[in-house]
Structure formats: structure tokens, C-alpha cells
A and B are shown apart, each in its own frame.
Chain A
Amino acid sequence: MRATVLVRPKPEILDPQGDAVGSALGHLGFEVRDARVGKVIDLDVEAADEATAKAAVEQMCERLLANPLIESYEVEIVG
């Protein structure tokens, strides 16, 4: 089963990378109020059904894929 994990810096965390991207977009003439940079992790997991896959991937996020102090995560099962 394929899963996508989105990891984002928490809103209260300073994200200089996002700021740099936002300001570069501004230089290109785009009007960007805010930019934040996170990461995408695509996984192919062994699981009987969607709920089991989601629970397993959430465990992965808690233990390794995201650092709860600084990042939030979102799990999407794509089938």
C-alpha cells in the first residue's frame, strides 16, 4: 500500500529556508505573503488494509520521520 507523508515545520518555528524561498519568489515578481518548506516522504508499506497502513505510518512519523518538537506531519494513504 502506498502512503505519502507530509512533514512541515510547526507554525511557531522560524523557517529561514521558507523565508529565502518566499523572498526569491518576490524577486521573480510573485506576490507571496509567506512560504514554508517541509518535506514529502513516499512509502510503500506492507499492510492488510488502509487503516492498518495508516496506523503503521503514523507510528513511523512519531518514532523517526518527524520530530514532534519542531514538525507536524500528515499521512495520506494513496492506495
Chain B
Amino acid sequence: MASPQPRIGVVTYPGSQDDRDALWALAALDAEAVFVWHAERELPDVDAVVLPGGFSYGDYLRCGAIAGFSPATAAVREFADARGLVLGICNGFQILCETGLLPGALLRNESLRFVCRDVSLIVERDDLPFTRRCTAGRRLVLPVKHGDGRYLPPPDLDPEQIVLRYVDNPNGSVGGIAGVCNEVGNVMGLMPHPEHAVDPLLGSDDGALLLASFVDAAREQVLATI
């Protein structure tokens, strides 16, 4: 029997811009990816959800703040509370922090400059649904492109929740933190863009390690229901 194809929802907010790349990358990694419009009150039948990068609601007030109150975000919260897999990339990470699904906040880059380049990262956790195809300590090269990526953890952040760190901190994040997960480990956010790095033609395919781990985990959700 062929392995089942997981269905992954990619939420499109007004101002999302990486939703298409996320959809393309997930499809390239053998998932069925579907768009979810921000005004939807219920998620379609999906095994995992991606909140993509971009500038939802023009980044007004604070990045991700207004998207945190979208109907689709409320549905994502319910999905996450039921231990559904949720991955937030860049603006998606900012939205997850604003909603409280992930700890901490993302602030203006220390340099006040928009950074747009490839960065090296170190994988801290390899036991998560998002990182299982990596080994801890492995380096990944992924692009970043953000003006508000300085991660500030809450004072009581459990170090176990740190998933990725920058080798050369591009934005002044505390502890060089590039990605974190929630306590349970079913929700993760990161500033770098794995969906822009799934083909060697794009300079790196390291993003495929993260996204394929995520697709594997979503597939297990399907198998669990058969």
C-alpha cells in the first residue's frame, strides 16, 4: 500500500506572501497542501497547519497582532489545543507569539535594518515532529528576510523549548534563538524560511529536512486514524 498523503492547511491572511511557496514546498515533499482563507471559522479536514510568512494586516500595531484575532487563527488555536501540528514561519511565528501559542515576542531587529540573506543555524532538538530528520548539533543553511525578528523569550522559558539557534545572530535575538516550540512540542515557530530552501537550485535544500519531518509527522496523524 502506498503511504497515505497527509493534508496540510496553509492559512492565507491579507498580506501573507509566502503562502504559495509553502504550498509548493509541501506538495514537492508529497503532501496535499490546501489554502485556508483567514475568514474561515473552521479548518478543513487537515492533519497539520502552516502559518506562512508575509506582512499580515500590513504588520499594523505589532507584527502578527491583528492576525491573532482572525477567525482562522481561532480555529488554529483549537487545532493546536487538541495537539494538532502547527508550524509558523516568520510572520507565522510572530502570529503564534502574539496569540500566546508560543512563548515570547519578536521585536524590531537590533540593527533597525531589514535582513535578507542566508544564515547558518544549529539544530538544538531532533526529537520534534519538525526536526526528526535532523540530528542535534547539525547545521542548516536557510534564508531569513525580516525586519522584526529579534526574539525575546519570557524570563521563564524552558531551554528545552529552544529548537534552532543562529550561528551568527542576524537580528539581536536573545541567546541567538531562531526557533522555539511550545511545552507539548506540537507547535513550532521560526524566523528563517524552510519553504524557500527545498531545492538545491535555490541555494540550499536544508529546509526540506524540517518540512519533510513535518510532513512525516502529519502522515503519522493520518495513519493513526486509519
Contact = CB atoms under 8 A, between A and B. Distances in A.
B226 interface: no
Contacts of A17: 108, 112
B124 interface: no
Contacts of B172: 14, 16
B65 A64 contact: yes
A16 B65 contact: no
Interface in B29-87: 61-62, 65-66, 69
A17 B107 CA distance: 11
Contacts of B110: 14, 16
B98 interface: yes
Interface stretch (A25-33, A48-56, A65-73): A65-73
B114 to A, nearest CB: 13
B135 interface: no
Given A64-B61, A64-B65, A70-B105, 16 more contacts: A13-B107, A13-B152, A14-B107, A14-B110, A16-B108, A16-B112, A16-B172, A17-B112, A20-B112, A64-B66, A64-B69, A67-B62, A67-B98, A69-B104, A69-B105, A70-B152
18 contacts: A13-B152, A16-B108, A16-B109, A16-B111, A17-B108, A17-B112, A20-B112, A64-B61, A64-B65, A64-B66, A64-B69, A67-B98, A67-B105, A69-B104, A69-B152, A69-B154, A70-B105, A70-B152
